[in-house]
Amino acid sequence: MNWKVEWKKLALIIGAFLVAFYLPVGGSRFDGAVMEALHLTKWYAREHVILCLIPAFFIAGAIGVFVSQNSVMKYLGAKAKKVVAYGVASVSGTILAVCSCTVLPLFAGIYRMGAGLGPAVAFLYSGPAINVLAIILTARVLGIEIGIARAVGAILFSVIIGLAMHFIFRKEEKARVEAQLQMPEPEGVKPLWQTILYFASMVGVLVFANWGAPSSTSGAWFFIHSNKWIITSVFAVGLGASLIAWFGFKLWKFAVIAIPTALAGLLLPSQPLIAFGIAIIGLSYFTSKSKDETGEWFASSWGFAKQILPLLLLGVVFSGFFLGRPDHEGIIPSEWVYKALGGNSLRANFFASFAGAFMYFATLTEVPILQGFIGAGMGKGPALALLLAGPALSLPNMLVIRSVMGTKKTVVFVALVIVMATFSGMIFGVIVN
């Protein structure tokens, strides 16, 4: 027996046994943390998988099949004009009201299609960080100065972090771009206006299906929220029309999907997930059976789902276990968090950035959470640091990023976000105080 090999297996077995032997089952904090992991996973599955992730997977799959690689590289590639590439990437979040997890399929799609590392990372950061609803809510709830600081900081962050990533990994990126340039351009690329309308319909479904409730009961935001499913339906019909007109999708297939979806929406208006789920299942079934480019679309989307979804759910489980949900504790006592966030010290800002980077924030939930932290004594500097690090990163997010661009790039990206958020928080704290 070769013990040089076998001792490692023995060590793993002994380690697993010791963990099981001393597992603190029955302790209130451990049991509570386990329940928090399950509660957060259940909530995430109900609130984000169907409405956020699945539409994002379809968009990412469409990028891989219907968007010309030359088009991606023209505007976001390493050789594109920096002003255009980073300008497009850094403001993308203003139209995508997505969280740090929902942006991942879109990031993976454009990165694999030839986007430079810098612009792709800028998009990855800006997507969840600067959506217009989050900025407005931040200004209204936490104050105009922190709202402006968040908007300006997020845009600058995305550009600076993207440029830093491009510079650090410039040799690897040069080799990647040269390899991509050797790939033949796919035939039968759709006219630009058709592609724009097709993607606009999918983005519309994603954005309006996830339109959050505003704090007031009047105004444009409230009107949109009150009619979000009607607006979403209009975009869904537009998607169906584009599939029929330009992709050879049969009208009878659209009818088979649309009729039960509409009936479910009318008969069960308080359960919109049922109607949305019927539409997703119908579209998935018919496209998966297709032998043309819509079949390629489904295959590409399914590829992203297989890679990303298991890692996301695993990350959500760990996030719930360690940090819990808002107003609920995980294994780490919230008292430690409150004590570490007071004042405007380097430690407070670093802890806010570090903790925010690993916590999971659904879109817009970071604002009421921060409101509670500030009420408990959190300084405005650490508050901004958490706003700049938290929505753009999370433990589930990191696991998926690693699978897309590797461990080294992921570590550097996370470190850049934490360091920049820390010092931005300190500077902001000095200014407002």
- How do residues 81-97 score in pLDDT, each as one tens digit? 777 778 877 776 555 55
pLDDT of res. 1: 60
* 284 CB-near residues (< 8 Å, 6+ apart): 298
Residue 386 is which amino acid?
A: L
First to last CA, the chain: 68
Q: What is the pLDDT of residues 355-391, one digit of tens each?
A: 888 887 766 667 767 766 776 677 888 988 988 888 7
- Output 5 or 217, whichever has higher pLDDT: 217
Strand partners, 343: 378
Q: Which of 207-216, 298-307, 405-414 has the highest mean pLDDT?
A: 405-414
What confidence score (pLDDT) does residue 364 get? Answer: 62
Of 111, 115, 110, which Cα lies nearest the Cα of 74?
115
Q: What pLDDT was estimated at residue 71? A: 67
Which helix (H) or strand (E) element contains residue 385? helix 380-389
Query: What totals of helices (H) and strands (E) does the chain contain, helices first?
Result: 22, 0
Q: What is the tens place of the pLDDT at every residue in 18-60?
A: 888 888 888 888 888 889 889 888 887 887 788 888 888 898 8
Q: Of 382, 312, 298, 386, which Cα lies nearest the Cα of 345? A: 382
Q: Residues with Cβ < 8 Å from 415, sequence gap 6 or more?
A: none
Across the range 117-135, mean pLDDT stands at 78
Q: Is the pTM of this model over 0.85?
A: no
Per the prediction, the chain carries an average pLDDT of: 82
With CA atoms as reference, report the closest residue to 122 among 172, 157, 79, 70. Answer: 157
pLDDT above 60 (res 107): yes
What does the pLDDT read at residue 221?
A: 81
Quickly state the pLDDT bin for 156 (edges 50, 70, 90): confident
Task: Indicate the domain borders of the chain.
Answer: 32-180+188-249+290-432
One-letter-per-residue 3-state SS of 196-220? HHHHHHHHHHHHHHCCCCCCCCCCH
Please tell me the predicted confidence (pLDDT) of residue 228: 92
d(CA 102, CA 100) in angstroms, rounded, equals: 6
* pLDDT tens, position by position, 244-262: 998 889 999 999 999 999 9
Q: Which residues contact 197 (CB under 8 A, 6 or more apart)?
A: 238, 242
Nearest to 135 by CA among 97, 161, 103: 97
Q: Binning pLDDT at 50, 70 and 90, where does residue 182 land? A: low
